[in-house]
Each structure stands twice: as structure tokens, then as C-alpha cells.
Structure 1
């Protein structure tokens, strides 16, 4: 792994970062114009920029110990460079001249765990370019460009939540997000609680998963119901006339939006945890994006008395689970769950004891 001092001929001329995100409630609702409650992770991705001396872009990921190079009018090779290239190309489409650069990436976000390392990379890249080129882009604009970079250049037909969370959230509050209006507001966690994130040990590749299939199913369900998106369905009974599996997919989205809106009200920490448990059951049974490892891990988490609720976080098909815990006991609960899962042959590990853990540095 090369250090920034070894990579740049001089010093970097711009440096920015963005966090990952954990979603407490509102999974698979963003591309349905719905509601969600993510929170930023303490872990983050840093991006440094410096001039290129040969007219080509040179990208290096210290995390992967991989590099890629491409000419200004060529495609980046497959891999992490496609996300960065997407950010560059979309700025160019806005009339911005992006000079050839050396770009250094470092992240302490666990890859493939559902903490949205791709959005963190996109937002950190755009923040660094914003600083270098003095573009005066606001946080919402950065999130929108980052989303399109992932859709158009990485081939993932994602919603806006991950990029909005990486751009606007912090690790002390929930970010309420309306995916249609992009209205946001920061909300406190339930009283006397903290967040725990545990990796199931099963990595997932979002572009290769059934994520795009689920999105297409939701669009088909909305079309059959005669609404612009499933966010516009307010009566649960309306989805029951749909054929399977569209009925189940729509039922998850409608009930998940209801859970988010209830969680934004004045409810107890215990009720918030129940909503998280209900969300996992819905993702498992109606949306069918859970796997055995995630189900086993959430059960192990709920077996600890400090855990109020637990669910998968991210798109599913592997990755991590998030739990709401009584304050001061998240680490105990995490170690308990990991020991129980791994004693049965699993490979789980604690990613975040509480969100106030110190951020990593390069």
C-alpha cells in the first residue's frame, strides 16, 4: 500500500471525505419515492487530488492496493475507477473542465457489508473536485450527481438515499429523507440508545444481486396500481389485488413507509426497536432480500437483553445488520451476537460499537 507522500510528486492540492451510512428504517423505499432514516457511520472514505504530469488520469486505491489509468476521453477500466470516472464525466456534462489528475483513495469502510462504500467514494470525490475547481456545489447537488455516477457508470440503478446520507448525514442523528422532494431533517436517536452494526461475514455485490430486478418489480406494481410510484399507495388493502410476487413487493414498500413515518413521531425506544424487527421480517418474507446468515444474526442480536430491535441494513443478499441498543451496552451486545453466530460456524464481526467511535484517518 502506497502512502499519499509516495503517490503524489508534491502535495495533494485538494482533500475531502465522506462517511458511509447505516439505514435504521426505510429499506428499498428510496427508488419508490418513499421515506427513510439513515445515519452516517464513523468510518469514512478520503479522496486526495493532485496534478497529473502526463495528461492522463491516474487513480490509486490504498484500500484495495489497486490502480487504474485512463486518457481524458477514454473509459476507466472496470472496478473502483468507474465510480470516480462517473463523477468526472457528469461534471464535464455540466460544462466543467476537469484537468487530468492523480487521485488517491483511502477508506476504512468495510467493503461489501451494506454500509454504502460506493456512495462515500462518489461523494468524497465530488467534494474534492468541488474544492479543487471551486464549483460551489451544495450537498443535494453533490448527492444527485453521485447517484447518476453510480447509475450511468457503475450500472447500479440505485435510489438517492445512500448519496444523500453520505452528503448530508452525521453519526449522531438520524437523517429523515423524503426521496421525492429531497426534504431532509436531522432527528435525535430514541432516548438512551445507541447503534450497533455487525457484519454477517457474507459479502454481497450489489450490481450482481437482484436489486435491479426488485426495482423493476416495484415499477410494474405501481403501473398496475395506476400511481406514479409505490409511495403514492396509502391503503395497504390496495396492494392485495396484485399478483404475486408484485403483491409482496408492494406490501413491503407501503408498510416500510408507514414504519418510517411512525418512527419520526414521539414513540418509545422499545417501539422503535419493534419497528426494526417488523422491517426485517418484511424484507425477509415480502421483499425476499434476506439470506440465512442475516436472519441468524438478527436472531442472535435480539437474544441479548440490551437489543431493542435488529434488522438487515442495505440492499440485502449479505452484508451487515443494524441493531438499536440500550445506551452503553452496544459493544456487549455485539460481542454476544458474534460469539453466538461464530460458535455455529459463522464469520460475523462487529463494525460499529456506537456511532460516536472516533473516525479513522489516513
Structure 2
């Protein structure tokens, strides 16, 4: 994949608006090593910000209008009046992220100011790499740069999550926005989604990440993501808990047969995934690949069997990567599910073997065309 350079976005801005931008701000996408569908259950996740970004070139104006051009949507242009109520547009989705972020900033007391924004991104959309959170964090940075205001990273993340929950309509947890805001170079970040505390977990210098897009596109708002959240809340309510974080695995297992089977399996995934995420963070810190790969394999099996969010193509892709790694690397589906990407982690010298196996076997077995996305852990937008 080709990264967008500052020179390119400066040129695109100038072509679109007739003047050079004042600045360019960026926010990264992310890949989650382990801890899926645990964030909105106040659990643990282990993501890394990656070196793929949403970039926004900006220039201030002396009025109350925001004019936005979206490079990735054929240069579509939208104008938003900061003094008018933000109303959701049912005909096109990307401007709703802008309106949602503006609405949340205004509700938090930010004054904002008019200007021109040119948005371009190289985070693959619909891949489970948080292109939406990357856009939200870049928008927060850009809008506050126009108005000369500032924000704390965690507040920015919460604001982006609220925009997606309440305006866009996806009931996502906090992980995507928090890692995009707070990621650290060369490290994953163990996040406790209950208190939002973070701990950097260094990735060994000779290990690399490989993300493989399955060719199966996904869309959270229109998928079963929100349904899974409701199912988890229902399981917690069965035990009189406000969150599955308050339930321990022994309590859940003792209720097997009393709780309906679907709710039981959803809850079992979340509780065991929390345990696996903590084990994986410790394994990563120790550079213990065997333990990390085991946790990732068990995570994928749980997503497949208990949470039912993988697809046959994704399962095949994980199997190809796992077999090619031969114990020297780990692989699992990453993201909300129903398509998207698989993440693998392995020593640098093993990565070409994994890539070759995918190119040799995957499309022949599934009919889906893979996209290989080498990645490294990068700094967050507000790091």
C-alpha cells in the first residue's frame, strides 16, 4: 500500500481550494493483537497504533463555515455551518463523522472556528483497522487547530467514541479511539477499558506485524456488531451485573444450563478473552512467542465458536498463516468481525514465509483476493 505524504496532501489541498494549507495533522489506524469485543464490556484489549493514517490539511477562515473535501470519496465537497444544528445525512456516510465530532466538541464547550479541511487516508476502509476512529481523532486535531483550542488525549478519545455511538449509530467501545489517540511507537498498549488506564508493552525489535485483508469487506453499523453488544448486556443482566467485567468465569460456568446457550457462549468468549489478553501482554513483554501464539489461536477459536463473528474465508486465512508460522508466529482475526483482516506477529525472518503462503494458497482456496499490509507500531495522534 502507498502511504500519503504531506507533499501530496498539500498539493491536493491547493488544487481544491486555491491556496496552500496552514498545517497537516494525522491520526493512525490500529490493529488489535488480542481482546475482541471486550472493550464495551469494560475488559482488556491489546492494540497497537499502526503506520497508516487519516491526514487532514487545514486552513482557517474568518467565518463560521467548515468546508471539507474528501479525497477518498472522489473529492466530494461538503459545507457545514457551525451555528446550525448537526443533522445526520442519510445519503452519504462520511460527513456524519464530521458532524458527530463537531456536535460533541460543541457540547463539551469548545468554540470552534471556520476553515477548510482536505481529508485523505490510507487506512483501508471496511477492514477492521479503525479507519473511522482514525478519522475522528484527526478531525478533533484539525478542528481544534483551526480554533486554537486544546484537548487531553483521553478526552479526545471519549469524544470520538460518543460521536460514533450517538450520531453515526455504531455502539463501539473505547479501544479504537483511545489507541489512535494514545498509541506508542514500537509498542502495543494494554488498555483497561473500565478505568482507561494504559500500559505500553514493547514489541521485540526483531518481531514484525503482518496484517492481511481477507477481501471480505465489513461494515460495523450495518452488521451484527450492535446485536453482539446487546447480547452481552443481556448476559450481564441475568446475573444482576451492569457489565460482564463484574462477572467471573466460575460464576458463569456454574450457570450453564440456566442461562440460555447463546448468552452463555457470548459471555464465555468475553470472560476467557479477558484472561487471554492479560496472558498475551505478559507473553509479549517476555518475547515468549509460543505463549503468545497459543493465546491468539485460542482467541480466534473463541471468536469463531462462541461469538460467531468469523467467516469461512477468515478461518481459512488464519489456518494458512498458522500452518506457515509452524510455531514461530501467531495469527487471529482482528477487528469487529464478519470479514476484514487477520493479524499475524512473527520474527522478521518468518514474515516472508507467511506472505508467500497467503499468496500461494488463500485465493485458490476461497476465491477471495488478499491484500498484504506490513505494519509497524506507531505513535498516536496525541502521543
Question: Quick check: TM above 0.5?
Answer: yes
Q: Which runs of 5+ in 1 are unaligned?
A: 358-362
Instruction: Give the TM-score, by structure 1 length.
Output: 0.92
Which of 351, 359, 374 aligns to 1:330? It is 351
**Cα RMSD, aligned residues only:** 2.0
Distance of 1:124 and 1:292 partners within structure 2: 34
Residue 364 of structure 2 is matched in structure 1 by: 343
Structure 1 counterpart of 2:271, from 254, 260, 268? 254
What TM-score do the two structures reach when normalised by structure 2? 0.88
The Cα of 1:330 is off from its aligned counterpart by 1.6
User: Is 1:303 the equivalent of 2:323?
Assistant: yes
Match of 2:42 in 1: 33
Matching of residues 168-183 of structure 1 within 5 Å: 168-183=182-197
Aligned-partner Cα distance in 1 for 2:31–2:198? 16
Q: Equivalences for 1:189-228 in 2 at 5 Å?
A: 189=203, 192-228=206-242
Correspondence 1:89-104 to 2 at 5 A: 89-104=103-118
Residues 138 and 356 of structure 1: is their aligned pair in 2 closer, same or farther, counting only changes over 3 Å?
Answer: closer
Q: How many matched pairs?
A: 356
Of the three residues 17, 20, 33, the one matched with 1:8 is: 17
Q: Which runs of 4+ in 1 moved over 3 A?
A: 51-56
**Contact 1:19–1:41 under 8 Å retained in 2:** yes
Moved more, 3-12 or 15-24: 3-12
Is the helix fraction higher in 1 or 2? Answer: 2
Q: Which one of 129, 137, 140 corresponds to residue 154 of structure 2? A: 140
Partner residue in 2 for 1:130: 144
Of 236, 240, 243, which residue of structure 1 is paired with 2:260? 243
| Separation (CA, whole Å) in 1 of partners of 2:250 and 2:346 | 30
Alpha-carbon separation, structure 2, partners of 1:85 and 1:97: 15
Query: Structure 1 104/236 Cα, relative in aligned 2: closer, same or farther at 3 Å?
Result: farther
Task: Give the SS at the match of 1:129.
Answer: helix
Aligned partner of residue 351 in structure 1, secondary structure: strand
Specify the alignment match of 2:79 in structure 1: 69
Distance 1:153 1:135 in 2: 23
Query: Offset at 1:53?
Result: 7.2
| 3-state SS, counterpart of residue 3 of structure 1 | helix
CA shift in 2, pair 1:236/1:47, >3 Å:
farther
1:166 positional shift: 0.4
Structure 2, unaligned stretches of length 5 or more?
1-8, 379-383
